[in-house]
Amino acid sequence: MNGIDIKFLEDSFKKYYFNHFDLITSPQRTSEREFGYQKFNSGMFRHISLKDNKELHLLFIQNIPSDVYCSNAYYAFPNSPMSEKDWKEADLIFDIDAKDLNLPCRKNHTISICNECNEVSKDTGQCIKCNSTKLEKKSLPCKNCIDASKIEVNKLSNVLINDLGIDKENIHVYFSGNEGFHVYVYDSQFQQIGSKERSELVDYIMFRGAIPETFGMKKFKPNRSLFPDFNQKGWNGRFSKYVFGSKSKRSKIISELLDNGYPSFQKTLDDVSENIGVKIDPNVTMDIHRIFRLPGSINSKSGLTKILCTDLTKFDPYADACFLNDEPVEVLANCPIEFKLKNKKFGPYDNEKISLPTYAAVYMICKKLATIA
Amino acid sequence: MLVLGQDEKAKYPFLADAGEYLKDKGFSLVQFGSDPVLKLSVEKALHRIKVASAGGIYKSDIDKDGQASKDYVLEREVFSFLLAIVLIKLTGMSTLIKRFALAEARRAEIYLEKDLGNASNKSKIDLATRIIYDLFNIEITKENDFFVIPVSDYLKHSVTFHEREWKLINRHVENGKVFLTPDKTVRLIRKELGNYISSKIINAPKPSMIPGLENIVDELISISKKLTPTYTITTGEYPPCIKHAIDVLEKGENLPHSGRFMLATFLLSKGQTVPQIVPLFKNAPDYNPRVTLYQLNHLAGTSGSATKYSCPSCEKLKTQDLCFITKECDNIINPLQFGKKRT
Ligand code: SF4
Ligand SMILES: [Zn+2]
Ligand SMILES: [Zn+2]
């Protein structure tokens, strides 16, 4: 990114920070957290400890960071090197990202930027100009992607509340600032469990590693009375809804399952996992030393804010998480696909000089689809 | 701490305070070296250690409810346990501690399971859940026929198990709790129970030699020395799948039949004999020497069937969840090729 673009982004971010300290509040037990930040075109600064909101705001003002992060873990010595931090516990965190959902709409709103010749084109496997395969993919706003991610968030909440006994009030859903959601679970029985245990929770939530016996199928002397039923709690109930569909079909489908036999039941389970397992990123939840984008900070991949969603159903990230101003800026834009921000349509632009509101200019520059003219 | 009845002390002797128990009964350790009546307890203690070191579980003279015809039978149960610890301390052999603790944990498991499953006797259930709470800080409550424990506690203990059955997804989970049957509940804490007993032995003060018991201690030392070599079986350069299987067995966890098959055929192909392999299976939860011997002989082709079975391919093992490939495996197609330079 060139110096002029960086200057513009920093100015825009700075204005946002000044006007929205109300959105940037330090997490509970601030002094036990590790913070980190990045500046445009520079590496990561980690192992920072802060006392309170005031110190946090100072970090923003002094550094004008492109991204700010905070650990979900609590440490005795957050600013020591990792091995000496003395890990105490960590909030449970889940990452749901539209790019992991394999949705058919992806190709319609993905742009390829060639690393060799900078050619911008609709999603391809190869640069249309120089045939290079070194392409950077950028995804533009898509309602379908957000809606699908919301469905996963709701599936996750359901398992967290009903199966894992977590209080609804302790589940906080944040828009990630790009194309997904971060789900935080506070004060649960899982605060102190380690990485291996979290990985087991992940498998449970994703419906991975199930054996036929758990869902009623036995290798020897199978018995139809062992199959799950609709009124059962947990995965047995969800399994019933998905596999049997309706009460009237249950009996017939059990007969089919029994006819197909034990080995093919594993395929049924794979299918269940694929369709009703919750699609979370396993690595994120397992990692107990990670730092996560700080709520209220801007995501430099998009210029959108990571923000708490109080009403997920109504939440529209491309309007509700877009806090930058409307001041017009001249940019050179190159974006073959139309997109919407703050309910306004933009593009397509074919290497043209145009005037855009700041929020749209920032969005495009962050996505490498425009530069200041 | 728990207040235990005589029968409960017989079932769970590791909960009794050794010094106090002897004092209560009006005995001192030295008397066990000479008093002919107390000698019976010494013999029992020796027997208890011998059975444990051979990989078995000592069979008590009490029934499954901890009852016995005479009070002194109960007393002798506790004495023999306490004395066994004294004897083991006197030998100073850590192999004996390991084996004895494991065997005693298994023995206690039988009673815990029985107590938990005792639907008609609430005080028995309470005792078992109290023991589990006091020792391992796991809160167990009863719901209908099941024992429920917090998911986080379940995970802390179950993550070390290798069988898929123990994955959380294969348990009934509701409202932050896991539902378990009595046997699974007890199985969950097996390792901790073993650790608890062995730490109790390790932390017990080493007594000075009791006159009259020298021969018994010598006998135990020589038994222990003969045991040690079976553990060196793992030192060769074995592939990860085999190391893992041995590991599972040594921890006393269950290795599926396919895993036992792989391990046995592998070791047989490496030129080990059936008697050399048998001890490996001794810690298995369902160990039965006769069956194991029969199965191994069968695989080795020394019994009835003429076929000699060979070790399954890596591909096959992958489908059975037995493969733990590392880069040392280097594209081999059968574990037997592991570590051999190929041209
Ligand atoms: S690749 Fe073969 S030898 Fe290596 S762990 Fe897997 S099964 Fe064993
Ligand atoms: Zn190109
Ligand atoms: Zn989409």
pLDDT score, position B329: 83
Separation between Cα atoms, residue B103 and residue B77, nearest integer Å: 15
Cβ pair A204, B168 in contact under 8 A: yes
The one-letter amino acid at B15:
L
Flag the least confident range among A109-113, A252-256, A282-286, B221-225. B221-225
Backbone torsions φ then ψ of A338, nearest 5 degrees: -75, 145
% of residues, chain A, pLDDT over 70: 100
Model pLDDT for residues B258-274, shown as the tens digit of each residue:
898 899 989 888 878 78
> A residues 229-258 near B, CB within 8 Å?
233-236
Q: Rounded mean pLDDT of A37-62?
A: 94
User: By percentage, how much of chain B surpasses pLDDT 70?
Assistant: 91
Closest CA to A184 of A61, A65, A94: A94
| pLDDT (mean) for B299-306 | 63
Angle, in degrees to the nearest 10, between helices B71-91 and B94-116: 150
Do residues A329 and A355 touch, judged by C-beta distance below 8 A? yes
pLDDT at B305 over 60: no
B338 CA: nearest ligand 1 atom? 3
Mean pLDDT over the full length of chain B: 83
Q: Please tell me the distance from the alpha carbon of residue B56 to that of residue B100, in angstroms, as a whole number.
A: 10
Work out the average pLDDT over B251-261.
83
Closest to B268 measured CA to CA, from B298, B230, B237? B298
Q: How confident is the model at residue A324 (pLDDT cuts 50, 70, 90)?
A: very high
Given A5, A67, A95, A287, the catalytic residue: A95
For residue B101 and ligand 1, the question of a CB distance below 6 A is answered with no
Q: Is the pLDDT of residue B63 over 80?
A: no
Q: With an 8 Å Cβ cutoff, is A345 touching chain B? A: no
Query: Is the pLDDT score of A300 beyond 90?
Result: yes
Strands B172-174 and B177-180: antiparallel
Per-residue CA distances from A219 to A214, A222, A243, B262, B320 (Å): 12, 6, 19, 21, 15
Comparing CA positions, the residue from A304, A300, A324 lying closest to residue A315 is A304
Mean model confidence pLDDT for chain A = 95
By the 8 A CB rule, do A97 and A281 touch? yes
The pLDDT value given to residue A173: 98
Average pLDDT over residues A97-107: 94
B339 Cβ below 6 A of ligand 1 = no
Residue A348, preceding peptide bond in cis (omega within 30° of 0): yes
Query: Which helix (DSSP H) or strand (DSSP E) does residue A100 occupy?
Result: none
* CATH 3.90.920.10 boundaries in chain A: 3-95+170-194+281-372
Tell me: the pLDDT tens digits for A108-118?
999 999 999 98
Q: Which two tokens stand for residue B56?
A: 């078995």
Extended strands (E) in chain B: 141-143, 146-150, 172-174, 177-180
Q: At A175, phi and psi to the nearest 5?
A: -75, 135
Q: Distance (Å, rounded) from C-alpha B146 to C-alpha B140? A: 10
- Considering only the beta carbons, identify the residue of B165, B168, B175 that sits closest to A200: B168
Count of other CB atoms within 10 angstroms of residue A214: 20
Please return the burial class of B154, using the count of CB atoms within 10 Å of its CB with bins 0-12, 13-18 and 19+: buried
pLDDT of B233: 41
Quote the Cα angle for A281-A283-A285, to 5°: 80
A63-78 average pLDDT score? 96
CB distance B317 to ligand 1 below 6 Å = yes
Mean per-residue pLDDT, B273-290: 77
Residue A156 has pLDDT above 80, yes or no: yes
Which tokens go with B155? 């995970």
Residue A301: in which H helix or E strand, if any?
Answer: none
SS3 state of residue B182: helix
Mean pLDDT, range A150-172, rounded to an integer: 98
pLDDT digits (tens, 9 = 90+) for B6-17: 788 888 888 877
Q: How confident is the model at residue B292 (pLDDT cuts 50, 70, 90)?
A: confident
Instruction: Verify whether ligand 1 is closer than 6 Å to residue B256 (CB atom).
Output: no
**Interstrand relation of A370-372 and A328-335 (parallel, antiparallel or unpaired):** antiparallel
More confident position, A326 or B135: A326
User: Which pLDDT value is given to residue B340?
Assistant: 67
* Domain residue extents for chain B: 6-136+189-226, 139-182, 234-342
d(CA A95, CA A240): 27
User: Under 8 Å CB-to-CB from A94, ≥6 apart: which residues?
Assistant: A156, A182, A183, A185, A205, A280, A281, A284, A285
- Tokens, residue A290: 């990670």
Among residues A5, A67, A91, A97, the one annotated as catalytic is A97
- Is B324 a pocket residue for ligand 1 (Cβ < 6 Å)? yes
Provide mean pLDDT across the span B227-249: 69
> Would the pLDDT of B101 be above 80?
yes
Active site residue A281: yes
Report which residue type is found at A150. Answer: K
| Subunit contact B169:A162, Cβ cutoff 8 A | no
Is there a contact between A211 and B165 if contact means CB atoms under 8 Å apart? yes
- pLDDT-derived band at B2 (thresholds 50, 70, 90) equals low
Query: Higher model confidence: residue B260 or residue A10?
Result: A10
Active-site annotation holds for A97 = yes
Alpha-carbon gap: A251 to the closest alpha carbon of chain B (Å): 22
Q: Which of A370, A329, A353, A312 is nearest to A158 (CA)?
A: A312
Whether the per-residue pLDDT at B66 is higher than 80: the answer is no
Q: Among A100-114, A197-211, A284-298, B108-122, whose mean pLDDT is lowest?
A: B108-122
Predicted confidence (pLDDT) per residue in A214-233, tens digit: 999 998 888 999 999 999 99
In this model, does residue B286 exceed pLDDT 60? yes
Which has the closest alpha carbon to A27: A89, A94, A74? A74
Q: What is the pLDDT of residue B231?
A: 39
Q: Which helix (H) or strand (E) holds A132?
A: none
pLDDT at B319: 85
Which residue of A163, A168, A269 is the best one to mutate when testing the B interface, meaning the one whose CB has the most B CBs within 10 A?
A163
Give the amino acid at B194.
Answer: G
B151, B157, B178, B320: best mutation site toward chain A, by most A Cβ within 10 Å? B151
What is the pLDDT at residue B236? 57
As a whole number of angstroms, the distance between CA A92 and CA A132 comes to 41
pLDDT of residue B69: 63
pLDDT interval class at B59 (50, 70, 90):
confident
Q: B124-140: per-residue pLDDT in tens? A: 888 888 888 888 888 89
* Residues B30, B210 contacting (CB under 8 angstroms): yes
DSSP B283-303: GSTT--HHHHHHHHHHHHT-S
CATH superfamily for A3-95+170-194+281-372 is DNA primase, PRIM domain (3.90.920.10)
